[in-house]
Chain A
Amino acid sequence: AQTVTQSQPEMSVQEAETVTLSCTYDTSESDYYLFWYKQPPSRQMILVIRQEAYKQQNATENRFSVNFQKAAKSFSLKISDSQLGDAAMYFCAYSYNNDMRFGAGTRLTVKP
């Protein structure tokens, strides 16, 4: 079964600095999708960024970018110019054949 591992239960970053959240996954498939979701204290799950495995180019969305290393099965999220509103739980997710698997999450704290 596919598994997603987030090895950093908690991370902290100073406002305006850059932080990278790690994610690794295990799969034998070649064509799948990867996601980062944000969950603020409101509990609402919000998509941050999406990556298609067959695309070599790393996805970017404004201040958010990923480092996708397919051979290493690694999918890290970089947040640049961190803002107070970035404080949340961040979940990495893998999706294939209608089955989405989530990591355990990383709690990000942003210090003013």
Chain B
Amino acid sequence: NAGVTQTPKFQVLKTGQSMTLQCAQDMNHEYMSWYRQDPGMGLRLIHYSVGAGITDQGEVPNGYNVSRSTTEDFPLRLLSAAPSQTSVYFCASSWDGSTDTQYFGPGTRLTVL
């Protein structure tokens, strides 16, 4: 089992560029989520999905899009990157988004210049 994988590990973008952060899990979890981690603020929920075809907004969704076409994959899209989106991004999955242990990926460090 690879668990939760994320690509890339590091990325540098220029303001206005777009990109997709990839996330995949092989545990057949229904729930997947994206967080951003900024210094001194802990992790904040961006978007989540409770199953294929279903997504919802978290605490800080602005500037990000998601889709869930399969159980395994949950990509995060930045349509027009801004310096405020410089952060470390974590993808996580679990059986249930409220009660269950979240399994986290290794993270992607994104810098927007």
Interface-central residue, B43, B56, B58, B101, by most chain A CB under 10 Å: B43
Distance in angstroms between the alpha carbons of A35 and B67 in the assembled complex: 27
Distance in angstroms between the alpha carbons of A4 and B75 in the assembled complex: 27
Query: Would you give the 0/1 interface string for A33-48, flagging 1 where the beta carbon is closer than 8 Å to chain B?
Result: 1010000000111010
Residues of B within 8 A of A102 (CB): 35, 42-44
> Are A44 and B45 touching (Cβ within 8 A)?
no
Q: Which of A12-20, A63-71, A72-80, A93-101 contacts B (4 or more CB under 8 A)?
A: A93-101
Contact of A44 among B33, B35, B40, B104 (CB under 8 A): B104
Chain A min CB distance to B35 (Å): 8
> Are A43 and B88 touching (Cβ within 8 A)?
yes
State the interface size on chain A (CB cutoff 8 A). 25
> Are B40 and A95 touching (Cβ within 8 A)?
no
Nearest residue, chain B, Cβ from A96: B98
Interface-central residue, A6, A32, A104, by most chain B CB under 10 Å: A104
> Are A98 and B97 touching (Cβ within 8 A)?
yes
> Are B98 and A101 touching (Cβ within 8 A)?
no
Q: A44-B104, A98-B97 are in contact. List 16 more A-B contacts (CB 8 A).
A: A32-B98, A35-B102, A45-B43, A50-B101, A91-B42, A95-B98, A98-B50, A99-B45, A99-B59, A99-B97, A99-B98, A100-B45, A101-B45, A102-B35, A104-B40, A104-B42
* Chain A to chain B contacts (Cβ below 8 Å), 20 pairs: A32-B98, A33-B99, A35-B101, A35-B102, A44-B104, A47-B101, A47-B102, A52-B99, A91-B42, A91-B43, A93-B43, A95-B97, A95-B99, A98-B48, A100-B45, A100-B97, A101-B45, A102-B35, A102-B44, A104-B41
Instruction: Report, nearest first, the 10 A-B pairs whose CB atoms are least far apart.
Output: A98-B97, A102-B42, A45-B104, A102-B43, A104-B42, A47-B101, A43-B107, A95-B98, A33-B99, A105-B42
